[in-house]
Amino acid sequence: QQPVQSPQAVILREGEDAVINCSSSKALYSVHWYRQKHGEAPVFLMILLKGGEQKGHDKISASFNEKKQQSSLYLTASQLSYSGTYFCGTEIGVSNFGNEKLTFGTGTRLTIIP
Amino acid sequence: EPEVTQTPSHQVTQMGQEVILRCVPISNHLYFYWYRQILGQKVEFLVSFYNNEISEKSEIFDDQFSVERPDGSNFTLKIRSTKLEDSAMYFCASSDLGGEKLFFGSGTQLSVL
């Protein structure tokens, strides 16, 4: 079952902050975040593993609440380059083969305007 | 930075025809994947491949689909008899370790007429 992302779309002025949420009905092993610009491939942002994590680089950070099966992506002081569609991808477990598959959410379209 | 390359970038085919989508994963990566994205929708998992065999596949990946690593560098997705609903952007991805980040190629836009 795919994770649910909210909001579906958000428009920000440059410099404003945004939070994108990702929720699952299943217990999660990890949450991955990717950004996809129009017509391009998804680009990796970060992975959060179960055990509760927060990560960040530059002005983009994320948290993973294992108990709630939720992850949130935080974008602070947004820049024009942050525009794109953000997808969370979830793993419910890891087999002996390693990274099996990600189930992606429907995406959140972020538009940054000057 | 190393990248995953996919060819062709666009493929137009008639319904019922076979297509082969090609990918060259990053050279030291061990895990390979195919995902697809129907226009405006989410990215969907098709299949993962490790140690020369399929490690997992989705319900989308039926008997019409197959994957192959014919040599040490290429990773292909074959659709034997294409259907209209196979029209999508197909992304190849690779990762060096299980559970690590995926590197996506720029995709092949498949249009089935």
Contact flag B107-A32 (C-beta cutoff 8 Å): no
Topology annotation, domain A4-113: Immunoglobulin-like (2.60.40)
* Residue A1 touches chain B, beta carbons under 8 Å: no
How many beta-carbon pairs under 8 angstroms link A with B? Answer: 73
B5-96 belongs to which homologous superfamily?
A: Immunoglobulins (2.60.40.10)
Contact flag B99-A94 (C-beta cutoff 8 Å): yes
Instruction: Quote the pLDDT of residue A78.
Output: 92
Taking only the tens of pLDDT, chain A with its 114 residues reads: 789 999 999 999 999 999 999 999 888 888 999 999 988 889 999 888 876 666 777 789 999 988 888 999 999 999 999 999 999 998 876 554 455 578 899 899 999 999
Task: Report d(CA B94, CA B103) in Å as an integer.
Answer: 5
**Closest alpha carbon within chain B to A46:** B101
* Residue B3 touches chain A, beta carbons under 8 Å: no
Residues 6+ apart with CB under 8 A from B25: B4, B32, B73, B75, B92, B93, B94, B103
* Residue B108 touches chain A, beta carbons under 8 Å: no
Q: Tell me which chain A residues have a C-beta less than 8 angstroms from the C-beta of B107.
A: 41
Q: Tell me which chain A residues have a C-beta less than 8 angstroms from the C-beta of B48.
A: 97, 99-101
Domain boundaries, chain B: 5-96
**Closest alpha carbon within chain B to A108:** B42
